[in-house]
Amino acid sequence: MAQKKCSSCGKWNDKSSLTCGSCGELLDIRKKEQARLKKLGKLPVQQEESALFEIKPEYPIWRKIILSILRPIYVLFMIIAGFFVWLAAWVSA
């Protein structure tokens, strides 16, 4: 049976278990690293493009207005671009 060794206390746990049955340490290294980064507040930003058009409350009013105008255009552009990609794939098939 496949087992994972706890990096914290050395106890063997079932491969499907996420945390150590003995000390509660996360067994998945990738998840452990994510949890560590999250704790430090350094979790990598996953959606860079949406953050670009994010309207933050500390923004000055002119920036909020520009963003509120640009955001629907950007979303619409992405939909059209996605449609053309789909169309190109459909035509070539």
Please report whether residue 65 would count as binding Zn ion according to CB under 5 A. Answer: no
Which of 72, 53, 73 is closest to 63 using CA atoms? Answer: 53
Q: Interface residues for Zn ion in 3-22 (CB under 5 A)?
A: 6, 8-9, 11, 20, 22
| 11 class by beta-carbon count within 10 Å (0-12 exposed, 13-18 middle, 19+ buried) | middle
Please report whether residue 27 would count as binding Zn ion according to CB under 5 A. Answer: no
Query: Between residues 35 and 88, which has the closer beta carbon with respect to Zn ion?
Result: 35
Residues 70 and 53: beta-carbon distance below 8 Å? yes
Please report whether residue 26 would count as binding Zn ion according to CB under 5 A. Answer: no
Which residues of this protein are in contact with Zn ion, per CB under 5 A? 6, 8-9, 11, 20, 22-23, 25
